[in-house]
Amino acid sequence: MVATCREYKTYIPRAILGDLSQEEQKALDQHLAECSPCNREHRMYSETVRQVSAVQDVSVPRHFFVYPEETHGTPWHAFLRMSRAWQAATASVLLVLGFASLLAISRLQIRSEDGALVIGFGRLPERRPAAPPVPQMDTSALESRILKIVAEKSRQDNLEFLRTLRAEMARSNKSIGREQRALLEQAINNVELRMGQLVSTTAANLEKKTDRSVQEAYRKVSLERARDLAAIDNRMNLLAINGEVKSTQTDAILATLLQVAELRMQ
Amino acid sequence: MFLDQGLRGSLSSDRDMESDWVAASQQGDNRAFNRLVLKWEKQIYNLTLRMLQDPGEAEDTTQDVFLAAFRNIRRFRKDAKFSTWLYRIAVNHCLSRLRRRPHGIHVSLDAEGSEERVMSRLPSRDSHEGEILSEERQSRVRAALQFLQPEHKAVLELKFFQDLTFEEIAAVVEAPVSTIKSRLYAGLEVMRYRLGAFSSDI
Helix (H) or strand (E) holding B53: none
Say whether both A103 and A43 belong to one domain. Answer: no
Kindly determine whether residue B41 and residue A60, on different chains, have CB atoms separated by under 8 Å.
yes
Residue A65 lies in a domain: no
Residue of B nearest to A46 (CA): B192
Task: Quickly name the fold that domain B2-122+133-197 has.
Answer: Rna Polymerase Sigma Factor; Chain: A (1.10.1740)
**How far apart are the C-alpha atoms of B14 and B36, rounded to whole Å?**
12
Kindly determine whether residue A57 and residue B46, on different chains, have CB atoms separated by under 8 Å.
yes
**In chain A, which residues have their Cβ closer than 8 Å to the Cβ of B192?**
44-45, 48
Sketch the domain layout of chain B as residue ranges: 2-122+133-197
Say whether both A164 and A41 belong to one domain. Answer: no
Task: Measure in Å the smallest separation between the Cα of A26 and chain B Cα atoms.
Answer: 20
Say whether both A225 and A172 belong to one domain. Answer: yes
Q: Cα A249 to the chain's mean position, in Å?
A: 56
> Each residue of A160-219: pLDDT tens digit?
777 777 777 676 666 666 677 777 777 777 777 766 666 666 666 666 655 565 566 667
Say whether both A28 and A119 belong to one domain. Answer: no
> Each residue of B100-122: pLDDT tens digit?
887 545 454 444 444 444 444 44
**In chain B, which residues have their Cβ closer than 8 Å to the Cβ of A80?**
71-72, 75
Kindly determine whether residue B34 and residue A65, on different chains, have CB atoms separated by under 8 Å.
yes
Interface with chain B: mutation pick from A43, A46, A48, highest number of B CBs within 10 Å: A48
Task: Measure in Å the smallest separation between the Cα of A81 and chain B Cα atoms.
Answer: 6
Range of the domain at A19: 5-50
**A77 has a chain B CB within 8 A of its CB:** yes
**Count: domains in chain A:** 3
> Each residue of A66-86: pLDDT tens digit?
876 665 556 776 777 677 888
Say whether both A260 and A184 belong to one domain. Answer: yes
Task: Measure in Å the smallest separation between the Cα of B33 and chain A Cα atoms.
Answer: 8
Instruction: Tell me the CB-side half-sphere exposure of residue B96, using CA atoms within 13 A.
Output: 8
B178: phi then psi, degrees, rounded to nearest 5? -60, -40
Residue of A nearest to B42 (CA): A60
Nearest to A28 by CA among A14, A43, A11: A11
> Each residue of B40-59: pLDDT tens digit?
999 999 999 999 999 999 99
| C-alpha angle B113-B118-B124 in degrees, rounded to nearest 5 | 140
Residue A104 lies in a domain: yes
Kindly determine whether residue A43 and residue B45, on different chains, have CB atoms separated by under 8 Å.
no
> Each residue of B72-88: pLDDT tens digit?
888 888 788 899 999 99
Region A19-32 average pLDDT: 90
What are the beta bridge partners of residue B14?
none
Residue A40 lies in a domain: yes
**A47 has a chain B CB within 8 A of its CB:** yes
Beta strands, E only, A59-107: none
**In chain B, which residues have their Cβ closer than 8 Å to the Cβ of A83?**
74
> Each residue of A218-237: pLDDT tens digit?
676 667 767 777 777 666 66
Q: Say if residue B197's pLDDT is above 60.
A: no
Say whether both A117 and A142 belong to one domain. Answer: no
Q: Say if residue A1's pLDDT is above 70.
A: no
Nearest to A42 by CA among A23, A25, A21: A25
**A83 has a chain B CB within 8 A of its CB:** yes
Region B21-46 average pLDDT: 88
Residue A116 lies in a domain: yes
Percentage of chain B beyond pLDDT 90 is: 41
Residue A62 lies in a domain: no
**In chain B, which residues have their Cβ closer than 8 Å to the Cβ of A13?**
184-185, 188-189
Q: What is the ipTM of this complex?
A: 0.74
Q: How many other C-beta atoms can be found within 10 angstroms of the C-beta atom of residue A163?
A: 10
B180 three-state secondary structure? helix
